[in-house]
Chain A
């Protein structure tokens, strides 16, 4: 397949203004929910998990619609996205140690 043919082979889609506006309104609304949560006094771990969940939803909206990922080939999405998410998620291996240090501080014991 020539480059020209490949260019035409790339899947194009009709631009949907309503869909993009809906995502934008959704992102603004979720941001306001996050700000509201700052007024509610939640424990840090609960607050963190809630905020990360909301941010993940916002990220999905941006990647899927604004960045057109939902219109790309499934092979491309499944090649790129899971490896990135897994690599990032593996960094969470540090969190148990952070909570261990938190407990040391909390009970007043000297940190090792």
Chain B
């Protein structure tokens, strides 16, 4: 801003800006129009999307670090077998199906079907619980089979990536249960179900990367289904 422009009193500058504004600014129906609500999105949804963007970078850092050590070692142990892959595929199926029930919950909430929306939300939380139980069983199985001494790098990567994800699933289970109950009780609105759904789909999305990179990249199918 030049000194001459800055010297103009605000009362005089405002009409001038208004006069020049429409010529340079996007029209109101333009998708890039600013105004008070430039993204035309609920603040809760916007906040959750910002969280998802930042959290995806956290997961990316973990998975890239894993990929670095995986690619750099030609003697990387292929610790998983067909049985491990079958179990993790089942976990993937459970998460994908829970995402579908979440979609149905959000649709029911937007349609004003409160009870139906809460039931689908609880079904989603139940899917999360099933995932946690299967994953915890797998962890206990792995921990009991670990060799004595320092933890091998492969298992450090496994516990870090899957542990971080399981933490998110656990938080999601409680989050969905609380939101579902509060929505059923009339304390929450459909947007709260939708925001919780965004979080849950993100948890599902992250697993779409954890599953192939952690499990499938360290699998020797010729080992069969044994331990």
Number of B interface residues at 8 Å Cβ cutoff, please give it: 57
Q: Does B177 contact A (CB under 8 A)?
A: no
**Which one of A11, A39, A102 lies within 8 Å of B74 (CB-CB)?**
A102
Could you tell me the distance between the alpha carbons of A100 and B72 in the complex, rounded to whole angstroms? 7
Grouping DSSP codes into helix (H, G, I), strand (E, B) and loop, the A interface class, with mixed when no group exceeds half, is helix
Judge whether A67 and B39 touch: CB under 8 Å.
Answer: no
Grouping DSSP codes into helix (H, G, I), strand (E, B) and loop, the B interface class, with mixed when no group exceeds half, is helix
Nearest opposing residue in chain A for B215, CB measure: A38
Judge whether A94 and B75 touch: CB under 8 Å.
Answer: no
> How extensive is the interface on chain A, given as a class?
35 or more
Judge whether B40 and A10 touch: CB under 8 Å.
Answer: yes
**Which one of A27, A48, A73, A98 lies within 8 Å of B96 (CB-CB)?**
A27
Known contacts: A62-B204, A105-B73. The answer to whether A24 contacts B67 by CB under 8 A is no
Judge whether B110 and A12 touch: CB under 8 Å.
Answer: yes
Chain B residues with Cβ below 8 Å from A95 are: 67-68, 71
21 examples of A-B residue contacts, CB within 8 angstroms = A1-B35, A9-B37, A9-B40, A34-B212, A35-B85, A35-B89, A44-B70, A51-B213, A51-B216, A55-B212, A66-B102, A67-B198, A72-B39, A74-B31, A83-B53, A87-B60, A88-B56, A91-B64, A95-B67, A95-B68, A101-B73
